[in-house]
Amino acid sequence: MFDTGLWRFGGFVDPARELQRLREEMDKIFSEFNQPIAREIPPVNAWIGEEDAVVAAELPGIDPDAMEITVVGDTLTLSGLREAAPLKEGESYHRQERPCGKFSRSLQLPFHVEVEKVRAIYEKGILMVTLPRSEAEKPRKISVKGE
């Protein structure tokens, strides 16, 4: 019973190894902070470029007709419905983990959108909306003339 304790404090512990272990523990704690947390559904990712923005959401197994995408000014709204498969007579669930129901999500973009030119692609369960920046708001280069 005493043995382990004496060994530990008797200078037999490799300090380099202990430090390595501590580092691993810390890495573990901090890596958990890095994970994106979705506060609203569905979670979205957004890429911004000079000409347009691309907003992506993972929405597997949704009928594209049941999805609604609206753009007003600089706000994009994604909404829709995911229905649970109805069970037939004599069938039962072993597991039911996939979420279902209505969802709605709004996202404000850093610029106004050219509503006419918005494109949406639904592929492999991922919805991708391309939102071009409105012409009036595009950055303009101002040339400086020297006298």
Amino acid at 135: E
Amino acid at 38: A
Stretch that binds another protein, among 6-14, 42-50, 72-80, 136-144 (CB under 8 A): 42-50
Does 37 contact another protein by CB under 8 A? yes
Which contacts qualify for 14-22: CB closer than 8 Å, 24 or more apart?
A: none
Residue count, binding to another protein (CB under 8 A): 44
Q: With respect to another protein, which residue has the nearer C-beta, 115 or 126?
A: 126
Sign, CA torsion 100/130/126/33: negative
Q: Which of 10, 90, 139, 146 binds another protein (CB under 8 A)?
A: 90
Edge-to-edge order in the sheet of strand 101-108: 67-72, 75-82, 101-108
Stretch that binds another protein, among 8-16, 72-80, 86-94, 139-147 (CB under 8 A): 86-94
Structure tokens at 18: 């202990």
> Mask: binding to another protein, 121-140, rule CB under 8 A, as x and -?
-x-xxx-x------------
Structure tokens at 117: 């030119």
> Could you give the 3-state DSSP secondary structure of residue 136?
helix
Does 59 contact another protein by CB under 8 A? yes
> Could you give the 3-state DSSP secondary structure of residue 115?
helix
Catalog residues that contact another protein under the rule CB under 8 A: 35-51, 53-54, 56, 58-62, 85, 87-88, 90-99, 110, 122, 124-126, 128
